[in-house]
C-alpha cells in the first residue's frame, strides 16, 4: 500500500503539489475512483440501431457500449476471453448481430455471452467450457441511464446512479428540458484534446471565475471591439460575437457571478451570458417551447441560471448550450478530454447552429479560448513538478467566508476559491475510502 498521509496533503485552504504529480496517487484515483464510481459512457442516441457500438475508457479499462436486439444498451469490457485481444479496434461502428474476434474468430452475442467457437475439437477433456462465464466477454457490473445519458460502474456496490448524480442531475434536466420534445440527440463526433496536465486542473478551472478576465482577455477584448462595430453598422450583432466578448467582463462583474458548491465536489457556475436575444430564430424557438410546455413551464426551463454544471470528478456539462466535456485521465500529467455536443429534438436548426458556434468558438481545441486555458494548465503542471520550487497550491481566496447551508457551500463572491476547497473535500473523502480499501486488500 502506498505511503500516503492525506492530512499532510490536504489542508482546508491549501493542498500539496504532489496530489497533481504523484503516480501512486494517480493509480489510487484510477482504481478506487474511476473504476468504482459511475462513469459517463455516452448517449443512447450514439447507438441507435442493433449492433451499433461506441468504445470508451473507464479508468484504465477499454469498454464497449453496444445496442442489443431487445433495445438494451450494454457496456462490456473490450477484451476477448480467449487471449485478451481487443474486440473492437474502431472508436465506433456496427458489429452486426454479434461480435467476432479478429484473431481466432470466437464470436459473442451483443450482451457479451459467447456464441460460437470455431474448431471445437481440441477442447474436449480440458477445463474450458462455453458454460463457464470466463469464456464470455465480461460486462460492467452496473449500467444505468438518466434522460438518455448512459453511465456504467465497474463496481457492484455503492450508490445507484441517481444518488451518484445527486444535485448535478439538473445538468441533464436543463439540457433536455430545453428541447420541445424533452430529449436531446448526440452529434456522434467529438473534439478530443490531450491536456498535458493533471485532470484536477480542468475541474478547478471550470468554476474559476477569477481567470477569464485575465486568461481570455486577449480574445474577449478584441471580440468586444468587433461586436460593437458590427452593432454600430448593422444595429445588432449575431450571438456568437457575445460568446467571445463575454470573456472581456471585468473582475468585478465576474465576482458577482455565483457558484453553488454541492456535496461530493459537484457545483454550478451560474449564468453570465445572455442567451435569449430577440432575433426571429430565438422567438420561433421560444414559441415552440411555450406550445410544448405552456407559458409558465417554458419560462422556468428557459430561465434556469446555469453556465456549467460539474459532475465531479470528470464531467462538465454546459447545459444551456447542449455541450458536455468528459475527462478520461491517462497519467498524472496527461488527460484526454472529449467535447461532445447535442441537438435539441424538435428545436429549429438555427438553434443547433447557434450552439455549434459556441462548440467551435470556445470549446474546440482550435480556439484561442481553449488554447489559453491549455497553456495555463500545462505550465501549472510544470510548475508543480518542480520539486524544489515550492510545496503548496493556494486556495486561500475568501477562505473563512464559505457559508454552508444543507451541505451546500456558498460564497458571497464569484471569484472565491470555495470551488477548489469543495472539490478537495470530495477528493479527500474518495481517497480516504481508497486507502481504506487498499489497506484491506
Ligand atoms: S484472441 Fe480472440 S479468438 Fe483468439
Ligand atoms: Fe478559461
Round to whole Å and give the CA distance between 58 and 155: 12
Query: CA 314, CA 202: separation in Å to the nearest integer?
Result: 9
Number of helices (H) and strands (E) in the chain: give both, helices first.
14, 23
Q: What distance in angstroms lies between residue 82's CA and the mean position of ligand 1's atoms? A: 5
Task: Report the CATH number that the domain containing residue 44 is assigned in CATH.
Answer: 2.102.10.10
Ligand (nearest to CA of 307): 2
Nearest CA to ligand 1 atom 1: 83
Beta bridge partners of 342: 186
* pLDDT digit string (tens) for the chain, length 441 residues: 678 899 999 999 999 999 999 999 999 999 999 999 999 999 999 999 999 999 999 999 999 999 999 999 999 999 999 999 999 999 999 999 999 999 999 999 999 999 999 888 888 889 888 889 999 999 999 999 999 999 999 999 999 999 999 999 999 999 999 999 999 999 999 999 999 999 999 999 999 999 998 999 999 999 999 999 999 999 989 888 999 998 888 888 888 888 899 999 999 988 888 888 888 999 999 999 999 999 999 999 999 999 999 999 999 999 999 999 999 999 999 999 999 999 999 999 999 999 999 999 999 988 889 999 999 999 999 999 999 999 999 999 999 998 999 999 988 889 999 999 999 999 999 999 999 998 888
83 CB less than 6 Å from ligand 1?
A: yes
The CA distance from 44 to 48, in Å, is 7
Q: Could you tell me if 214 and 359 lie in one domain?
A: yes
Residue nearest to atom 3 of ligand 1 (CA): 104
Q: Which residue has the cell 473563512?
A: 400
Q: Are 112 and 187 within one domain?
A: no
Q: How many Å lie between the centroid of ligand 2 and the Cα of residue 264?
A: 23
Centre of ligand 2 to C-alpha 76, Å, is 35
Residue with cell string 474546440? 364
Q: Is the CB of 396 under 6 A from ligand 1?
A: no
Q: What is the atom index within ligand 1 of the atom nearest the CA of 85?
A: 1
Q: Which three cell numbers stand for residue 185?
A: 440527440
Give the Cα separation of 309 and 100 in Å (integer).
40
The answer to whether residues 292 and 412 belong to one domain is: yes
What pLDDT sits at residue 1?
63
Same domain, 269 and 308: yes
Distance CA 377, CA 365 (A): 14
pLDDT at site 366: 86
Could you tell me the distance, in angstroms and rounded to a whole number, from the CA of residue 24 to the centre of ligand 1? 33
Q: Are residues 128 and 181 in the same domain?
A: no
C-beta 85 within 6 A of ligand 1: yes
**CB of 80 closer than 6 angstroms to any ligand 1 atom:** yes
Extract the C-alpha cell encoding 431.
481517497
Domain hosting residue 53, numbered range: 39-146
For ligand 1, the distance from its centroid to the CA atom of residue 93, given in whole angstroms, is 20
117 touches ligand 1 (CB under 6 Å): no
97 domain-assigned: yes
For residue 138, the 8-state DSSP code is P
Q: Ligand 1 pocket: which of 106, 112, 115 to mutate (most atoms <8 Å of CB)?
A: 106
Query: Ligand 1 atom closest to Cα of 106?
Result: 3
Which ligand does the CA of 99 lie closest to?
A: 1
* Residues contacting residue 27 through CB under 8 Å, at least 6 positions apart: 2
Nearest CA-CA partner of 209 in 242, 255, 262, 265? 255
- Within 8 A by CB and 6+ apart from 242, the residues are 227, 273, 274
Q: What is the largest CA-CA distance in the chain?
A: 85
Which residues, including other chains, have CB under 8 Å from residue 157's CB and lie 6 or more apart? Answer: none
Does 3 fall in a domain? no
Return d(Cα 410, Cα 414) in angstroms, integer: 9
Total number of domains constituting the chain:
2
Question: How far apart are the CA of 140 and the centre of ligand 1, in A?
Answer: 20
Residue 158 lies in a domain: no
Ligand 1 centroid, distance to 103 Cα (angstroms): 5
Same domain? For 174 and 111 the reply is no
Does ligand 1 have an atom closer than 6 angstroms to the CB of 103?
yes
The closest ligand to the CA of 219 turns out to be 2
C-alpha cell at 276: 435569449
Q: How far is the CA of 116 from the centre of ligand 1 (A)?
A: 12
* Of the candidates 354, 335, 341, the residue with the CA atom closest to the CA atom of residue 190: 341
Distance CA 244, CA 18 (A): 35
What is the dihedral angle through the alpha carbons of 366, 367, 368, 369, rounded to the nearest 10 degrees? -130
Based on the fold, state whether residues 98 and 177 are members of the same structural domain.
Answer: no
Give burial (CB, 10 Å; 0-12/13-18/19+) of 311.
Answer: buried
Q: What ligand is nearest to the CA atom of residue 205? A: 2
Check: CB of residue 29 under 8 Å from CB of residue 54: no
Distance CA 204, CA 206 (A): 6
Evaluated on CA atoms 268, 269, 270, 273, the torsion sign reads: negative
Does 32 fall in a domain?
no
Q: What is the CATH number of the domain that holds 246?
A: 3.90.380.10
In angstroms, the CA 73 to CA 43 distance is: 10
**Residue in the block written with cell 450482451:** 111
Of 99, 116, 146, the position where a domain reaches its end is 146
Q: Which residue has the cell 518542480?
A: 386
The pLDDT of residue 119: 85
User: Taking ligand 2, which is a single-atom ion, which protein residues have CB atoms under 5 Å away?
Assistant: 373
- Check the CA dihedral 51-52-58-60 and report its sign: positive
Task: Indicate the angle between helix axes 199-206 and 418-440, nearest 10 degrees.
Answer: 140
- Do 433 and 322 reside in the same domain of the chain? yes
Residues 302 and 342 in one domain: yes
* 7 in a structural domain: no
DSSP letter string, 61-89: EEEEEEE-TTS-EEEEES--TTT---S--
The answer to whether residues 365 and 395 belong to one domain is: yes
> Considering the domain boundaries, does residue 77 fall inside one?
yes
Pocket lining: 82 vs ligand 1, CB cutoff 6 Å: yes
Span from the CA of 73 to the centroid of ligand 2 (angstroms): 35
pTM: 0.96
Show which of 84, 116, 146 is a domain's final residue.
146
Q: How far does residue 202's CA lie from ligand 2's centre (Å)?
A: 9
Question: Peptide bond preceding 406: is omega within 30 degrees of 0, i.e. cis?
Answer: no
Question: Which ligand is closest in space to the CA of residue 105?
Answer: 1
Residue 157 lies in a domain: no
Task: Kindly state whether residues 132 and 221 are assigned to the same domain.
Answer: no
* DSSP secondary structure of 182-229: S-EEE-S--EEEEESS-HHHHHHHHT-TTSHHHHTHHHHHHHHHHHHH
How many Cβ atoms sit within 10 Å of the Cβ of residue 296? 9
94 three-state secondary structure: strand
Nearest partner of 26 among 329, 435, 325, judged by Cα: 329
Parallel, antiparallel or unpaired: strands 61-67 and 52-58: antiparallel
On whether both 129 and 211 belong to a single domain, the answer is: no
Residue 388 counted as domain residue: yes
Distance CA 341, CA 318 (A): 9
Amino acid at each position: 500500500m502506498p505511503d500516503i498521509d492525506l492530512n499532510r496533503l490536504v489542508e482546508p485552504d491549501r493542498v500539496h503539489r504532489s496530489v497533481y504529480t504523484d503516480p501512486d496517487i494517480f493509480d489510487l484515483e484510477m482504481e478506487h475512483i474511476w473504476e468504482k464510481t459511475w462513469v459517463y459512457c455516452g448517449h443512447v442516441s450514439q447507438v441507435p440501431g442493433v449492433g451499433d457500438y461506441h468504445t470508451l475508457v473507464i479508468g484504465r479499462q477499454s469498454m464497449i457500449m453496444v445496442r442489443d436486439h431487445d433495445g438494451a444498451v450494454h457496456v462490456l469490457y473490450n477484451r476477448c476471453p480467449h487471449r485478451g485481444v481487443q474486440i473492437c479496434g474502431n472508436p465506433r461502428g456496427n458489429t452486426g448481430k454479434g461480435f467476432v474476434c479478429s484473431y481466432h474468430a470466437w464470436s459473442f452475442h451483443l450482451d457479451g455471452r459467447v456464441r460460437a467457437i470455431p474448431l471445437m475439437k481440441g477442447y474436449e477433456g480440458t477445463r474450458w467450457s462455453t458454460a463457464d462465464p470466463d469464456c464470455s466477454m465480461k460486462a460492467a457490473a452496473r449500467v444505468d441511464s438518466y434522460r438518455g445519458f448512459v453511465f456504467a460502474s465497474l463496481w457492484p456496490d455503492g450508490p445507484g446512479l441517481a444518488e451518484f448524480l445527486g444535485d448535478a442531475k439538473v445538468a441533464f434536466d436543463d439540457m433536455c428540458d430545453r428541447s420541445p420534445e424533452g430529449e436531446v440527440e448526440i452529434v456522434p463526433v467529438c473534439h478530443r484534446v490531450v491536456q498535458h496536465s493533471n485532470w484536477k486542473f480542468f475541474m478547478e478551472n471550470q468554476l474559476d471565475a477569477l481567470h477569464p478576465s485575465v486568461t481570455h482577455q486577449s480574445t474577449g477584448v478584441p471580440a468586444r471591439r468587433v461586436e460593437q462595430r458590427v452593432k454600430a453598422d448593422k444595429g445588432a450583432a449575431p450571438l456568437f460575437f457575445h460568446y467571445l466578448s463575454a470573456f472581456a467582463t471585468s473582475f468585478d462583474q465576474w465576482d458577482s457571478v455565483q457558484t453553488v458548491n454541492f456535496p461530493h465536489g459537484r457545483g454550478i457556475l451560474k449564468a453570465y451570458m445572455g442567451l435569449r436575444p430577440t432575433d426571429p430564430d430565438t422567438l420561433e424557438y421560444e414559441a415552440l417551447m411555450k406550445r410544448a410546455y405552456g407559458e409558465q413551464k417554458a419560462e422556468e426551463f428557459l430561465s434556469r441560471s446555469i453556465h456549467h454544471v460539474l459532475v465531479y470528478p470528470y464531467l462538465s456539462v454546459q447545459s444551456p448550450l447542449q455541450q458536455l466535456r468528459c475527462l478520461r485521465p491517462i497519467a498524472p500529467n496527461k488527460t484526454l478530454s472529449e467535447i461532445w455536443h447535442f441537438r435539441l429534438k424538435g428545436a429549429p436548426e438555427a438553434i443547433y447552429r447557434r450552439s455549434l458556434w459556441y462548440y467551435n468558438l470556445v470549446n474546440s481545441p482550435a480556439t484561442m479560448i481553449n488554447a489559453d486555458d491549455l497553456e495555463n494548465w500545462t505550465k501549472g503542471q510544470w510548475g508543480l513538478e518542480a520539486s524544489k520550487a515550492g510545496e503548496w497550491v493556494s486556495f486561500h481566496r475568501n477562505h473563512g467566508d464559505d457559508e454552508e447551508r444543507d451541505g451546500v457551500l456558498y460564497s458571497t463572491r464569484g471569484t472565491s476559491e470555495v470551488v477548489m476547497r469543495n472539490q478537495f473535500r470530495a477528493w479527500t473523502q474518495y481517497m480516504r475510502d481508497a486507502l481504506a480499501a487498499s489497506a484491506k486488500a
